[in-house]
Structure 1
């Protein structure tokens, strides 16, 4: 039987201490555009095949290329319209392949966090040193091209190991001290931030990144139509907004510029953004800002509450 990884304790959603977001907001809302680079003929990984068809995978590759050529511009302009700064889940090879995209995002003060180097190279099968080197490369690349100290991590193609969070925090500390490597999007277990237990004892937090709201999950896995996806985003927000009256919640919409940005899908997405940002008591923010706020104001009290509840139930 596989053991629990031990990153966090069980902490029931009910009767938690109240979180109050800035200006009394009920919901901290952030959009995470995955801006990725896929290789036409990536190195073989025995644990996972990058493309479902034989090489050269022109179909899959060119669809992703559409995202970086067309879809990114379309989505960026839409987020501009509603005053949303993206938190980019970045395949850092994009810094070399498409530096013009990086510059456009820098102009808008978007956040850059690491999504590995290529989205066709996975953590599966790596040694600890290989994974550490990959994480370091991605964080150094972000800093070199943007000046930002990388705060967050989402493993490439969600291919993390049991060491990923420890390594990301450790490399972040080595490179940037407390300003680097302090939140993850790789855990999908809650609608509020969660302190994460690491071998380094670094103050580290999991920030909700919803697979249910992820456009690839919606369109490719669940195979729903654009209108229904837009409605799901609004319904998800409505529930979190309702619960946020008691204690602040987080809503993330992860997007891909080769999914949500096709012409026939954009109007439903825009309708959902207009609906959410039309509420005054919503904090439209970034993943980094949420993590920083929680670490400063609620991290210690949350740990104390978890310890009290754990002791009471034992």
Structure 2
């Protein structure tokens, strides 16, 4: 890689072709619950330790187990209440460890996209062949347990490599959540030349980033979600935007945090002109209706290299 990642061309946000969502919606809204499985003692990776504590890291493991035992159902009931179908960022080992969660999501027609196999096994240090095997395994597992190949990918624990997007496109994927560079879907370059895009997935609105990294309190997180929505909704009057809330069932679903999340969902879904949807549906719509126009506009703005 050079000075830039090379996955996409610079494409200024201002004066792009107008993006129109179904029904004239200003904003496409999706919630991406990360439903993950963490190993207590995973194979060591020299580039990243899975836990901040010495082994056995029972506190870190236990709160994540809480998420799958308790938090998942709590969050699911809340999303049901507001008519939101989750787009699951799935650690595919969950299909074997907690198949009941997969069944609950299937009953609700939630989307499943790949988040690797375990969230304690990283892309760092893998050869291209090893990463391909991991991606193929995760895709095949989701298809086997849900009846449908995943359309999207988020690298496990955000451990993205320079080959990740190419490899996922080559197994039939159409979108990535690993790029955090825009508030609209954008074309992404992959070596196969396939039609492939980035769907906005926000680290800033991610509950783990908010609570663990930035250490905000629940009411402040709820206000951040509303403020984020207000800005994107206002801009969406000119050209459609995307808002994603990435969640974790061991973060946002803790009893003292749930009210702030619910108030934000009530606020967002209470607005007209909001397309409450999934990552796959956003990707499918953009690829069918907007992708070619986006490529044309990028080409028109990109100076020729002489």
Fold match, TM over 0.5?
yes
The residue aligned with 1:226 is: 218
Residue among 244, 248, 255 paired with 1:256: 248
- CA shift for structure 1 position 312: 8.1
Distance in 2, Cα, partners of 1:147 & 1:258: 27
- CA shift for structure 1 position 6: 1.2
The residue aligned with 2:39 is: 39
The residue aligned with 1:311 is: 303
Distance in 2, Cα, partners of 1:100 & 1:137: 20
The residue aligned with 1:55 is: 55
Any residues of structure 2 matched to 1:88-107 within 5 Å, and which?
88-107=88-107
The residue aligned with 1:211 is: 203
Residue among 166, 169, 192 paired with 1:200: 192
Distance in 2, Cα, partners of 1:196 & 1:227: 36
Q: Deviations over 1:13-62 (max 9, x none)?
A: 11000000000100000000000000000000000000111111111000
Equivalent position SS for 2:300: helix
Q: Deviations over 1:228-275 (max 9, x none)?
A: 000000000000000000000000000000000000000000000000
Residue among 153, 162, 176 paired with 1:184: 176
Residue 142 (structure 2) pairs with residue 142 (structure 1): yes
The residue aligned with 1:291 is: 283
Distance in 1, Cα, partners of 2:126 & 2:252: 32
RMSD: 1.2
Distance in 2, Cα, partners of 1:205 & 1:108: 26
The residue aligned with 2:87 is: 87
Equivalent position SS for 2:18: coil
- CA shift for structure 1 position 149: 1.4
Equivalent position SS for 1:311: coil
Distance in 2, Cα, partners of 1:103 & 1:295: 29
Q: For the structure 1 residues 313 and 167, does the alpha-carbon distance in structure 2 shift closer, same or farther, using more than 3 Å as the test?
A: closer
TM-score, normalised to structure 1, is 0.96
The residue aligned with 2:30 is: 30
- CA shift for structure 1 position 171: 1.7
- CA shift for structure 1 position 216: 0.2
- CA shift for structure 1 position 3: 3.3
The residue aligned with 2:164 is: 164
- CA shift for structure 1 position 148: 1.4
Equivalent position SS for 1:269: helix
TM-score, normalised to structure 2, is 0.98
Q: Deviations over 1:48-78 (max 9, x none)?
A: 0001111111110001000000000000000
Runs of at least 5 residues in structure 2 that lack an aligned partner in the other structure = none
